[in-house]
Amino acid sequence: MKIIYTVLVLVVTQLLVACGDPTKSGRGFTLPEGDAQKGQDAFLALHCNSCHAIKGRADIPHSEEAAITVKLGGTVRIIQNYGQLVTSIINPSHRLAKGYPQAMIQSGEQSLMPNYNSVMTVQQLTDLVAFLQAQYEMDPVIQTRYPRYNYPK
């Protein structure tokens, strides 16, 4: 039953994030709030740390044998919103993360991330998103103050 529910939610999610037809819009769609600690447990249980390293989290081991390491977390100027994180997990090939070699991108290769949709529960997904969101810190943009120039008339 849990797998059927997970698949149903994931199919509906993918339909809602489709472009074009407004009836397939993801606007207003959110999953229940997750638990960040349980998300860390899911991150490890699903072996996300075999390809992903979390900045500033030495307590989360990372495999050095990965073909590509995609770094998550840290201080950023733009934080991925809830929908972007969910999409990155359930449809990892929608956009390749920084860190992919240019040769792979030019050859049109898909994401190396396996499809977890038939393995991960909705609860794990929501917890994982809560965990990932907590790993980012916003780096505020400090506006440069320029002196006023008074030009002679």
Give the bridge partners for 71, in sequence order: 53
Burial of 42 (0-12, 13-18, 19+ CB in 10 A): buried
- Looking up tokens 């992903």 gives 52
Residue 82 pLDDT exceeds 60: yes
pTM of the model as a whole: 0.69
Give domain limits for the chain: 34-138
pLDDT tens digit string along 20-53?
Answer: 577 766 677 778 899 999 999 999 999 999 989 9
Q: Nearest 5°: CA angle at 10, between 41 and 91?
A: 80
pLDDT tens digit string along 112-122?
Answer: 788 899 999 99
C-alpha span between 27 and 15 (Å, rounded): 12
92-100 long-range Cβ contacts below 8 angstroms, 24+ apart: 97/70, 98/70, 98/71, 99/68, 99/69, 99/70, 99/71, 100/68
Residue 110 pLDDT: 67
Higher-confidence residue of 104 and 19: namely 104
Residue 41 pLDDT: 97
71 backbone dihedrals φ, ψ, rounded to 5°: -85, 135
How confident is the model over 58-74, as a mean pLDDT?
85
Topology of domain 34-138, CATH:
Cytochrome Bc1 Complex; Chain D, domain 2 (1.10.760)
Tell me the pLDDT of the chain averaged across its residues: 80
Q: What torsion do the CA atoms of 53, 55, 61, 64 make, to the nearest 10 degrees?
A: 50
Residue 148 pLDDT: 78
- The share of the chain scoring above pLDDT 70, in percent, equals 75
Higher-confidence residue of 43 and 105: namely 43
pLDDT tens digit string along 127-145?
Answer: 999 999 999 998 887 888 8
Among 121, 99, 96, 119, which residue's Cα sits nearest to residue 39? 121
Residue 150 pLDDT: 75
